[in-house]
Copies of this chain bind each other. A is one copy, B any other.
Amino acid sequence: MPQLDKSPDDRVGQNVEDTVLGDLIGYRLKRAYMQIQPVAQQVLAEDGLRVVSFSCLSIITDNPGIVQTELAAALQMERSNLVVIIDELEQSGFIARKKVPTDRRRYALTATLRGRRLRDRAADKIRQAEDTIVGCLDKEDRTRLMAVLERLEDQRT
């Protein structure tokens, strides 16, 4: 029996049927991420950072001497797209490039004191911003969510 079309006037706002999309994990992950991302973006913009440059700064801070290829692998991005970001961070004085004496193809990346301080401050602000969104979850739901996401992430296909 064919479903009758609703008059367009009957359907307002969020009253939209969905028998498929909402049950897909990919869809739900994207929607949840899209809730967080703009907030993080805005918070980081106050310090002149983008999400990707903050990610780089954070990994460099945690891994002084890391090299661009390793950084790209850690963040699952292309080396070529990293270059401009590293340039930005270097010109802003948040990181330094030092030639590796044993292999002059590579640059050892280290965060400056300013860079490390910015990382810590920005991280605090992001955590705070995330809390306003994730506040609806109790501590157990939250830790369980993080654990499950980590397991998905580590899944090798």
With A123-B20, A145-B145 in contact, is A153–B31 under 8 Å at CB?
yes
* Interface of chain A: mostly helix, strand, loop or mixed: helix
**B-chain residues with CB within 8 Å of residue A102 when the two chains form the complex:** 7, 9
- Interface residues in A1-36 by Cβ distance below 8 A to B read 3, 5-9, 11, 13-14, 16-36
**B-chain residues with CB within 8 Å of residue A130 when the two chains form the complex:** 24-26
Interface string of A136-147 (1 = CB under 8 A from B): 110001101110
Q: A127 and B5: CB pair below 8 A?
A: no
With A11-B70, A16-B74, A152-B32 in contact, is A126–B26 under 8 Å at CB?
yes
Q: A65 and B133: CB pair below 8 A?
A: no
Copies in the assembly, this chain: 2
**B-chain residues with CB within 8 Å of residue A127 when the two chains form the complex:** 23-24
Minimum Cβ distance to chain B for residue A65 (Å): 3
**B-chain residues with CB within 8 Å of residue A14 when the two chains form the complex:** 74
Q: A70 and B26: CB pair below 8 A?
A: no
Q: Flag whether A81 is at the interface (Cβ < 8 A).
A: no
Q: B26 and A76: CB pair below 8 A?
A: no
Q: B-contacting residues of A (Cβ < 8 Å)?
A: 3, 5-9, 11, 13-14, 16-37, 39-40, 51, 55, 58-59, 61-67, 70, 73-74, 76, 100, 102-103, 106, 108, 110, 119, 123, 126-127, 130, 132-134, 136-137, 141-142, 144-146, 148-153, 155, 157
